[in-house]
Amino acid sequence: MARWEPGARERLQEAALDLYATKGFEETTVGEVAAAAGLTERTFFRHFSDKREVLFAGTPLLEQSFVDRVASAPAGASPLDVVARAVRGANDYFAESRRPYSRRRQAVIAANPELQERERNKMASFALSIAGALRERGVSEPTATLSAESGVTVFRIAFEAWVADGEERTIDEIEASLFDELRSLTRP
């Protein structure tokens, strides 16, 4: 097995996604993923704690990106504008070249209740972190939580639209439209 070839992590992610999509998440073993990537189980566990994490490996980086963008937002910006800046600024993670992978990943998650729960927990963690970053900027409650939860809802809906079959808009275009819609809800 080619244990020391570069790109092991990416090969494991591709192999896992292929197997999860064709065989099913529950039915796929770590050993099968490692073998399909030309690696060992030991190598798999050097990169991922379990077979779910193959699909969620970028979560901490994305979450930190949201928090960093909240912290660096201009002083005086409204809490919702800060959150919109944070969410839309993280779109580097969703380049057009990633859309096919993201579509396949989302289909696997949609087909498995355990993965759906993990996805919901990820979104809740994003909201908690963003709300915490807003509080560090001096935003009080319930404004911090309302803004963070609203922003994460926009992110989730935008992502789901972005991976939908036939969708051609960028995630940034979708999010911009959704933030406009959200703001219109609060106008008289």
The predicted-structure confidence for 23-44, as pLDDT tens digits, reads as follows: 999 999 999 999 999 999 999 9
**CATH homologous superfamily, domain 8-54:** Homeodomain-like (1.10.10.60)
Would the CA dihedral through 97, 99, 170, 119 be positive or negative?
negative
Q: What was the pLDDT predicted at 174?
A: 96
- The torsion angle over the Cα atoms of residues 180, 142, 121 and 59, rounded to 10 degrees, is 60
Low-confidence ranges of the chain (pLDDT < 50): 1-3
pTM for this prediction: 0.90
Distance CA 161, CA 102 (A): 11
Q: What was the pLDDT predicted at 3?
A: 47
Q: What was the pLDDT predicted at 5?
A: 61
Amino acid sitting at position 51: K
Would the CA dihedral through 118, 179, 175, 172 be positive or negative?
negative
68 phi/psi in degrees, rounded to 5: -60, -40
Tokens 């993965």 belong to 115
**Of 86, 121, 107, 82, the residue nearest 163 (C-alpha):** 107
**Of 98, 100, 97, 80, the residue nearest 21 (C-alpha):** 100
CA 118, 124, 129: angle at the middle one, nearest 5? 125
Q: What was the pLDDT predicted at 163?
A: 96
Taking the domains of the chain in order of start, what are their residue ranges?
Answer: 8-54, 58-185
Residues 6+ apart with CB under 8 A from 8: 37, 39, 43, 47
Residues 6+ apart with CB under 8 A from 165: 103
- The torsion angle over the Cα atoms of residues 83, 87, 88 and 92, rounded to 10 degrees, is 150
DSSP-assigned states of every residue in 7-26? THHHHHHHHHHHHHHHT-TT
Select 58-185's CATH number: 3.30.420.80, 1.10.10.10, 3.30.930.10, 1.10.357.10: 1.10.357.10
DSSP type of residue 96: G
